[in-house]
Amino acid sequence: MTQEKSSLFQTYARNPLALVKGEGSWLWDDQGNKYLDFMSGLAVTNLGHAPKKVGDKLKEQIDTLWHTSNLFVIPKQEEAASKLAEVAQADAVFFCNSGAESNEAAIKLARRYFQKVKGEDRYEIITLGKSFHGRTLATLTATGQDKVKEGFLPLPAGFVTVPPHDIQAIEQAVNGHTAAVMIEMVQAEGGVYPLDPEYARQIEQLCRDKGILLIVDEVQTGMGRTGAWFAHHRYGIKPDIFTVAKGIASGFPAGAMIGRAYLKEAFTAGSHATTFGGTPLASSAIIATIETMQEDRLPERAAEIGGLLMDKLRKRLHGNPFVKEVRGLGLLIGIECAEPVGELVLAGQQRGLLFVSAGPNVIRLLPNLYVTEEEVQQAVDIVASVIEEKVPTPSA
């Protein structure tokens, strides 16, 4: 379909591939070609495509009840919340429909906690350069990348962005109006930059010392992706609020904002709402996703197979002049290259492997959490071959 003919706003630089069927790690296009999927709909289909247990639960729910309204008790939503709180090691959950919306809820909760519970005029959120927090007005303002802000002025007040890995920059930015610091444990869209563990602990300590909240955006890193239920578990830090979306329901649209018990006091009846948050359908998909991940120990699996993928890539690409660094956490892996990687993404696709970039120069690999060793090997071979052909390794 040409751009002019399409009835869609052309907000996505779409690749002409039309994917029509998926199973596990594999996708098929409308011409019958098969692809190994190492992007998982951008960290969404963490259980692979069309996972049977989630599908069965959704079908059962479709025949029972789709939607009632949050003006009633929704038993499935209660169950989804208690399961999520358990695996998240946190206390309270607000369900919504996307990552941006979960971050909006986090920002609103931080402000409301100070303004209604503490009686303090705190509202400002400190975020990091290279971060990504979403595309709504508040979350694009929170995002530490100018490209998402162009043409959308005026931006909402109350956000300040500081350079990452500079604890003094945060210290200097904190003032009497600061409500929270908001971070990603691995800056994913920004180029797959895991935060240095010591820096992450310093941020946590600074938040405690200053009496402000720590918000962690786990929209991409959560739900087992980085080898723990949530990336901050691997870092051993304890945020006041964190957010989740992408992998939460295996591809059914859903998001959640998760917080500590003392914050319940700030989000009272009528303070925040969304029509579709935690419907019986979404909740069924969330419950089935969590149960499947528990049964098959998928976070542990992501740590293991992610380590294997990282090792194989590092060994295979070692000394390649086009590759600057291979980094990441669990199954969120970036290969930083010397030049833009757009061509390599297309070359991979022509060889039957789907992956995506993160910023101009970084190849990002996001396979599903069931990916096999054999599939890992196939992906490494294809990624390495497209890189090696880009810059032929000098002959010995």
Which residues sit at the interface with ligand PLP, rule CB under 6 A? 98-100, 103, 132-134, 184, 188-189, 217, 219-220, 245-246
Nearer to ligand PLP, 192 or 212 (CB): 192
The continuous run of DSSP H or E covering 310 comes out as helix 298-317
CB of 218 to ligand PLP, least distance (A): 8
CB atoms within 10 A of CB 318: 9
Question: With respect to ligand PLP, which residue has the nearer C-beta, 220 or 320?
Answer: 220
Question: How far apart are CB 248 and ligand PLP at their closest, in Å?
Answer: 10
Q: Closest distance between ligand PLP and the C-beta of residue 389, in Å?
A: 30
Q: What gap in Å lies between CA 46 and CA 306, rounded to an integer? A: 13
- Give the Cα separation of 122 and 305 in Å (integer): 43
Residue 97 or 378 with smaller CB distance to ligand PLP = 97
Least spacing, CB of residue 392 vs ligand PLP, in Å? 35
Choice between 234 and 246, CB closer to ligand PLP? 246
Of residues 221 and 292, the one with the C-beta less far from ligand PLP? 221
Minimum distance of ligand PLP from residue 99's CB (angstroms): 2
Give the separation between CA 153 and CA 141, rounded to whole angstroms. Answer: 10
Cβ-Cβ contacts under 8 Å for 260 (sequence gap 6 or more): 90, 91, 92, 240, 241
Q: What's 42's DSSP letter?
A: H
| Rounded Cα distance, 150 and 45, in Å | 30
Question: Please, which residue, 111 or 133, has the CB nearer to ligand PLP?
Answer: 133
Q: Exposure pattern of 76-95 as b/e (b: 16+ CB <10 Å)?
A: bbeebbebbbebbebebbbb
Cβ distance to ligand PLP smaller for residue 95 or 322: 95
Which one, 127 or 284, has the nearer CB to ligand PLP? 127
Contacts of 297 (CB under 8 A, 6+ apart): none
- Judged by beta carbon, residue 322 or residue 355, the one nearer ligand PLP is 355
Q: Are 353 and 36 in contact (CB under 8 A)?
A: yes
* Residue whose Cβ sits closest to ligand PLP: 99
Q: Which is nearer to ligand PLP, 183 or 303 (CB)?
A: 183
Question: Taking the complex as a whole, how short is the minimal distance between the CB of residue 134 and ligand PLP, in angstroms?
Answer: 4
Contact 314, 325 (CB under 8 A): no
Smallest distance from ligand PLP to CB 386, Å: 25
Smallest CA-to-CA distance from 332 within 358, 293, 299, 306 is with 306
Q: Smallest distance from the beta carbon of 265 to ligand PLP, in angstroms?
A: 26
Question: C-beta of 8: minimal distance to ligand PLP in Å?
Answer: 17
Phi, psi angle pair for 11, to nearest 5°: -80, -10
| Tokens representing residue 9 in the block | 């706003």
**In terms of residues, how long is the chain?**
396
Q: How far is the CB of 366 from ligand PLP (least distance, A)?
A: 10
Identify which of residues 221 and 320 has a Cβ nearer to ligand PLP in the complex.
Answer: 221
CB 189, min distance to ligand PLP, A: 5
Rounded to whole angstroms, the Cα distance separating 313 from 300 reads 20
What is the DSSP code string of 14-41? Answer: --S--EEEEEBTEEEETTS-EEEESSHH
Residue 109 · residue 266 · CB < 8 Å? yes
Both structure tokens of 18 = 């039309």
Q: Does residue 131 come out as left (phi exceeding 0), alpha (psi in the -120 to 50 range) or beta?
A: beta
Is the separation of the CB atoms in 389 and 213 below 8 Å?
no
